[in-house]
Amino acid sequence: MPASLAPITPELFADFKGGKETALEQFFRANFEAITQEAHEKVEDVAAAQKVAASAFLDVWDRRAKLESPAQLEKLLHDAVNGEAVHEQRRRAAAHHMAGNHGKAHEAAVPETVDQWWAKVTGVLHAAHADPAEAARKRAEHSRHEAAAHMKKVARPKRTGFYVVLVLVLAVAAGVPLWYFNKGADATKASQLLSHDDAKAMRSKDGQRGTVTMEDSTVVRLGSSSTVKYTASYPLDARAMQIIGAAAIKAPASNTPLLVKVGNTWVDVSDAEFAGRSFPEDSNSAMLKVLNGTVTVRAGKEIQQVAAGNTLLVLSNGTFMDLSEDRAKFAFSWIDGEFISQNQPLRKVLTEMKRIYALDIVPKDTSFLDRPVSMTANVDSTKAAVAALEEGGAVKVTLVAEGKASLVDAASAPKPTRRRR
């Protein structure tokens, strides 16, 4: 049953909507106990109800700009309690399930005072909504350190003729406590958060690759011509990412597993590392390779645990299939600094070379594009890649401009003429 709230005066409502923290504190302190009691009807212990209540107030605060009346504020708060309670129930159910599997009983947390919870709320607010000038200073400082730390990993050698400019939009709320959304966000909520306009992203163009360490120590290795999206206040609202293209993600152990979307597939990651691949032309199918640890793969109603060293193909309809060794090497060899093709069609090889080397090779004749190609080349050497393609595909490549080349069947290529002495 919705709790009765303290009266909301027009002045308080105006200050709340206007973003005055003093108004939030007044609203929070006047109603925290009542909202906790409301939440307690839905969750089993008081401490959990307090967490639900605090999260509900923060939910409302984040959406205050859309409020039109005190009545709407009250309704939004009650709705937020219901939503937060559902997520808390799911989290506790998952914890109970894990306890059954591992023999660990769940221990209820100790309730805290309203002062203690307000301190937590203000900690989140100040971390997530820093002063713009200070935030800009921190972003600039972070960027300098990031550039110094990752330059060798991000930039390709100058001799290749290509330069890497990895476009990153990084969260600045480093060190934000995870209690706010420490609830094992499910795929539905994660998907909604990733689809928001305020979702952030790190992107690479053709010929670019890079490595970024997130504020929760998750390491993202971004492949060429790829995007990794993440939630607006990662990891505060949810530890969720989406791979569009190719990336390898290493997540440390955490009570809240990292949820990564690849195509129509979700990968739960904790104390593990995996690589995922799903480009737009793959029609939401996903290729996965587990590099370390064990991950849980979910597609529709299908769930499968995949251990290190194994690969998996998940079709867009949720069907799990084995991924051949040849396709796995073609998809993931870039992680080890190589481009490997074993009997892959020439048309696929040319598409992949455009991504990895930023070299657009246009065939003058399309009749042999299904020819199988076997080749191995370093991802940082365009010259070596072209030579390997010519040998492994029986073709002749001619550079016509920066980043442009033409291709013909070697059998039809004109033979060099000898000069007469």
Residue whose C-alpha is closest to residue 112's, from 183, 32, 2: 32
The reported pLDDT for the residue numbered 25 is 93
Domain end marker among 278, 302, 328 = 328
Answer yes or no: do 15 and 152 share one domain.
no
Residues 273-287 have a mean pLDDT of 95
Residues 401-407 have a mean pLDDT of 94
pLDDT score of 367 more than 50: yes
270 domain residue, yes or no: yes
In tens, the pLDDT along 176-193 reads 333 333 333 468 888 888
Q: Range of 353's domain?
A: 337-412
User: What angle do the packed helices 46-62 and 21-40 form, to 10 degrees?
Assistant: 140
406 domain residue, yes or no: yes
Answer yes or no: do 184 and 164 share one domain.
yes
Rounded CA-CA distance 256/408 in Å is 53
CATH number at residue 299: 2.60.120.1440
pLDDT score of 334 more than 90: yes
Domain end marker among 128, 146, 167 = 128
337 is written with which tokens? Answer: 């600094």
Residue 152 vs residue 270, higher pLDDT: 270
Answer yes or no: do 161 and 120 share one domain.
no
Residues 204-209 have a mean pLDDT of 95
Answer yes or no: do 90 and 197 share one domain.
no
Residues 142-155 have a mean pLDDT of 41
Split into its structural domains, the chain has a count of 3
Answer yes or no: do 186 and 313 share one domain.
yes
Answer yes or no: do 254 and 344 share one domain.
no
Peptide bond into 235 cis (omega under 30): yes
Answer yes or no: do 145 and 70 share one domain.
no
CATH number at residue 396: 3.55.50.30
Answer yes or no: do 299 and 357 share one domain.
no
Per-residue pLDDT band at 209 (split at 50, 70, 90): very high
pLDDT score of 419 more than 50: yes
Answer yes or no: do 62 and 147 share one domain.
no
The reported pLDDT for the residue numbered 147 is 40
User: What angle do the packed helices 382-393 and 346-357 form, to 10 degrees?
Assistant: 180
Question: How many Cβ atoms are within 10 Å of 6's Cβ, its own excluded?
Answer: 12
Which of 15-24, 163-172, 353-362 comes out lowest in average pLDDT?
A: 163-172
The reported pLDDT for the residue numbered 166 is 38
pLDDT score of 22 more than 50: yes
Q: Tokens 């032309």 — which residue?
A: 281
Q: For the whole model, what pTM was predicted?
A: 0.59
Answer yes or no: do 267 and 359 share one domain.
no
The reported pLDDT for the residue numbered 181 is 34
Domain end marker among 276, 297, 328 = 328
The reported pLDDT for the residue numbered 26 is 94
171 domain residue, yes or no: yes
pLDDT score of 335 more than 70: yes
51 domain residue, yes or no: yes
3 domain residue, yes or no: no
Q: Using the Cα atoms of residue 307, residue 310, residue 315 and residue 320 in order, give the sign of their dihedral.
A: negative
Residue whose C-alpha is closest to residue 92's, from 110, 105, 103, 111: 105
Residue type, 268: D
Residues 369-394 have a mean pLDDT of 96
5 domain residue, yes or no: no
Answer yes or no: do 249 and 354 share one domain.
no
The reported pLDDT for the residue numbered 196 is 87
Residue by residue, DSSP assigns 86-135 as HHHHHHHHHHHHHHHHHT----PPPP--HHHHHHHHHHHHHHHS--HHHH
419 domain residue, yes or no: no
pLDDT score of 318 more than 60: yes
82 domain residue, yes or no: yes
Rounded CA-CA distance 150/279 in Å is 25
The reported pLDDT for the residue numbered 179 is 32
In tens, the pLDDT along 71-111 reads 999 999 998 888 888 877 766 665 554 445 444 444 556 78
Per-residue pLDDT band at 154 (split at 50, 70, 90): very low
Answer yes or no: do 286 and 381 share one domain.
no
